[in-house]
Amino acid sequence: MHCPNCMWKNIGKIGTNQYYCWKCCIELVVQDEILSVYQVEEDGSLSSLDDVFSVDERSRCLEEHSSS
C-alpha cells in the first residue's frame, strides 16, 4: 500500500482499517472496500480529501493493499 498523495510506502496502521502516512500526515480509511482519504486538522478533526483523488487512484491503493 502507498499513499495516494506522496506515493510513500511507509504507511502506519493506527486502527482497524485505518492507516496514516507519516510523510504528508493524511489518514487512509478502508470501509466497505472503499478507500477514503482525510487530512488531519489542527484540532484533530478530519477533512475529506476524496474530491482531490479520483476513484481510480484510490482503488489502485486499495488493490495494492488487498494483494499484500
Q: What is the pLDDT of residues 28-62, one digit of tens each?
A: 999 888 899 999 999 999 999 999 999 888 888 87
Question: What secondary structure, in 3-state letters, does the chain show?
Answer: CCCCCCCCCCEEEEECCEEEECCCCEEEEEECCEEEEEEECCCCCEEECCCCCCHHHHHHHHHHHHHC
What pLDDT, on a 0 to 100 scale, did the predictor assign at position 66?
58
In the chain, what are the domain boundaries? 11-67
Place of cell 481510480: 56
